[in-house]
Structure 1
């Protein structure tokens, strides 16, 4: 018994020692879009460059699309009963508003309708995605031993972000600070970041409109053009999406859109399910020097089409210095600072 306790104590001491010797950094990143068209002559490719997620560190999805399963399961069923035993119809014929505001209102199968011997729960367990995300994103700042969002007081480039926000030709998309311990390039796992407007309701991942908008239909009517039927529009949209996938090197046996019915978080092609104005990966690795690799897709609504511009850059950086990754359409301001995990910050009151 004493030997076992001694071994456990040694292992705990070694883990604490490794954690104390681990190098941590605080990364502050500002991403903004250049909005003026004006004198820019550069032409961007029309096809979408897919950014496959694979294994990544996602600090935003739990924040903006959290699981609400514990909350849903704690609610009582609404009255009247969701399913009727009437032979003519398995559903309630005279539904009325429940007396309680917080209760399960989704129809559930009765015992004889289930496909399994065990109870099934058919409920929406994820909160809906927002239509847009505010640029500034902070966390509690509580040290977790894994990459995590820093508290609001950790922001050092607020003045830079404010200047960009006040300039008419710039749109601030993302300003955040997170902390992580960098590793070698071979072991490094990129972090995923998305921001801005959510175009998922109107467009698929390949930039094709899901449904004809009211404005486009009104435009066709004013020009005395025949309105396409729903079936024709759907076929044309599928063809356009297939062409985009072929141009991007995606095989035809993969899903047409980014949505997946079997798994809402990841599809066969490892593509995002939501179509954000900004979406991509940021990788930090340490090989004698600090290096960053960025790969972002910027979505822009041009007329009735969704244009995608891929911005991929690599840079060696020096801790403490402010670096600027320039692009005709997208700018990234970056500062990486040393951080000591022993100085755990107090949770932000606004969080």
Structure 2
């Protein structure tokens, strides 16, 4: 009986190991389902530009860097090229040895012989799929395409497909549409953004803010620091015309004398002096321009949601508005502890934010094989 007992013991150990492995795989597979998901509805509005309030704010532009944020707006208006990149074959990278380098050279020469090899390829080795899992979305978009002159107020996804990363919700998820309509009907209010997205919040240390922008696109009128692009183009054209006139009329025998004369004229006209007002603000030397938005929107900023026993919201927005002094930038930064299901209002003289965070139950994953 002892051999039979040993056999049963081995079988039981094997079954327990199999069950442990099965439960471990199930725990990993259902990790996403165990997360606490929330649905965030955001309404942003501002008073009409004709109303000048008594409150005075610093006119300098406060830079909001976007290096550590995810963007759900750009991916909605710009095409996602991830599927196109997936079809490209990896390029033949050069090897270390002389024999391999010779083989690569021959292969590159053969690419120009029929049949031709693909012209486009991926020059960097792509990590395996299990290494590309991220808590936040990573969209590969063609950001060089032109954006509209103004964005629609309501931003919603076209489908209700659940994703393991933060994503836009469809129009059916909008619960505050009546409130947004009432705000838009007010004669002294302008609705800038109304959207709903879903995400599973993490702790403040791991939280990544989301970027949101909307309203009018001021990129052709001003740069990020508020400098007037149209006036600068006019000044450059006038200076060029003056220089050409001087040279064409041969008023100066020497080219360098003509340049000195032109500089004296610009200096006398005050064109070479940096004006101190907000419309001529220059970036500080410590500002990293690569982390700033490449377009100037009426509303642009960050929204961070994190969960540390309670839900917390941090907002940092820049609002561009026209006043008697021209186009000014107002920075609105607020922090608030919120309760899910309640309606919260973040008040500011120039920017109103209505917020509601609701619990969201992700749909159960369908069985792979029925």
Corresponding residue number in structure 2 for 1:245 = 283
Secondary structure of the corresponding residue to residue 231 of structure 2:
coil
Structure with the larger helix share: 2
CA distance in 2, matches of 1:126, 1:54: 18
Corresponding residue number in structure 2 for 1:318 = 339
Corresponding residue number in structure 2 for 1:229 = 239
Is residue 2:149 matched to residue 1:160?
Answer: no
Structure 1 pair 179–272 and aligned structure 2 pair: CA distance change class (3 A) = same
Query: Segments of 4+ in structure 1 off by > 4 A?
Result: 2-11, 36-39, 67-71, 118-121, 230-243
The count of residues paired between Structure 1 and Structure 2 equals: 274
Work out which of the residue numbers 220, 232, 257 in structure 2 matches 1:201. 220
Secondary structure of the corresponding residue to residue 224 of structure 2:
coil
Is residue 2:149 matched to residue 1:131?
Answer: yes
CA distance in 2, matches of 1:235, 1:8: 73
CA distance in 1, matches of 2:312, 2:18: 42
Q: Which runs of 5+ in 2 are unaligned?
A: 1-14, 88-117, 122-141, 241-262, 366-370
Measured after TM superposition, the shift of residue 3 of structure 1 is: 11
Structure 1 pair 329–120 and aligned structure 2 pair: CA distance change class (3 A) = same
Corresponding residue number in structure 2 for 1:90 = none
Question: Aligned-pair RMSD on alpha carbons?
Answer: 3.8
Measured after TM superposition, the shift of residue 8 of structure 1 is: 7.0
Structure 1 pair 279–37 and aligned structure 2 pair: CA distance change class (3 A) = same
CA distance in 2, matches of 1:243, 1:309: 14
Corresponding residue number in structure 2 for 1:141 = 160
Preserved contact between residue 320 and residue 335 of structure 1 (Cα < 8 Å):
yes
Work out which of the residue numbers 295, 298, 306 in structure 2 matches 1:277. 298
Work out which of the residue numbers 289, 292, 308 in structure 2 matches 1:287. 308
Matches within 5 A, 1:1-351: 9-35=22-48, 38=51, 40-66=53-79, 126-139=144-157, 140-212=159-231, 229=239, 243-246=281-284, 250-251=285-286, 255=289, 267=290, 270-302=291-323, 305-342=326-363
CA distance in 2, matches of 1:298, 1:181: 28
Corresponding residue number in structure 1 for 2:139 = none
Measured after TM superposition, the shift of residue 203 of structure 1 is: 1.0
Which deviates the most, 33-42 or 193-202?
33-42
Structure with max Cα Rg? 2
Preserved contact between residue 316 and residue 333 of structure 2 (Cα < 8 Å):
yes
Preserved contact between residue 277 and residue 299 of structure 1 (Cα < 8 Å):
yes
CA distance in 2, matches of 1:309, 1:20: 41
Structure 1 pair 236–58 and aligned structure 2 pair: CA distance change class (3 A) = farther
Secondary structure of the corresponding residue to residue 63 of structure 2:
coil
Preserved contact between residue 26 and residue 338 of structure 1 (Cα < 8 Å):
yes
Preserved contact between residue 226 and residue 280 of structure 2 (Cα < 8 Å):
no
Corresponding residue number in structure 1 for 2:92 = none
CA distance in 2, matches of 1:151, 1:283: 21
**Alignment deviations for residues 38-84 of structure 1 (CA, whole Å, 9 cap, x no partner):** 5721111111011111211211111123356988xx9xxxxxxxxxx
Structure 1 pair 320–234 and aligned structure 2 pair: CA distance change class (3 A) = farther
